[in-house]
Chain A
């Protein structure tokens, strides 16, 4: 497994942990009846910001861990190398990610147009963000495995 693949797996893992944390919070709020609270919008915003922060920290830690593991495996310092194929794979994965988020955004707008509460729209947007990130990383892994 190449360094790029290991790094992608690490990012995928941090995305999944972030999503897991957010949806745990969602379930907790639902069980406690927090959906009906008047301060729900601000607490939701704080929750999303916290999850983003956690995800950034996890991504940094996992990227460092991957570099250390790769260096130990190679018994020397592994140069950080990203070539044109890596960049093209990243671009393709980003395109998939944006498309997935676009679909999620569209669905979120449909829920607003259908007269559902903004909370549904907001959560659908957050959900599509996570799905977009995960699908981007999964497609990146697939392209790395296939060659291009």
Chain B
């Protein structure tokens, strides 16, 4: 039903790394929480939530933790990192 968004990190070696998130799915599963409600809960703007869901913006570790706490789920369930695509 929902597609996890994927974004590419910056940096020479890191540019192949792919981080994806399931924020949209988690919002839906949490009483259809709005982007604004999540933004207020984690202390960012709605635009930042939109950018993350679209896969345009990679959040800081702190924000990622705050989001996973807001969903009461482990970090690795909300965010995932595809190691196979990294250029090691």
Contacts and interface: CB of A to CB of B under 8 A. Distances in A.
Interface of A: 2, 4, 81, 83-86, 144, 146-148
Q: Give the most central of B48, B54, B63: most A CB within 10 Å.
A: B48
Dominant secondary structure at the A interface: helix
A144 B56 CA distance: 11
Contacts of B44: 81, 83-85
Interface residues on B, range: 10 to 19
Given A85-B57, A147-B54, A147-B56, A4 B63 contact: no
Contacts, number: 36
Interface in B28-47: 43-47
Nearest to A79: B40
Contact of B57 (A2, A4, A147): A147
22 contacts: A2-B46, A2-B47, A4-B45, A83-B43, A83-B45, A83-B48, A84-B48, A84-B60, A85-B44, A85-B45, A85-B47, A85-B48, A86-B45, A86-B48, A146-B56, A147-B47, A147-B50, A147-B51, A147-B56, A148-B51, A148-B56, A148-B57
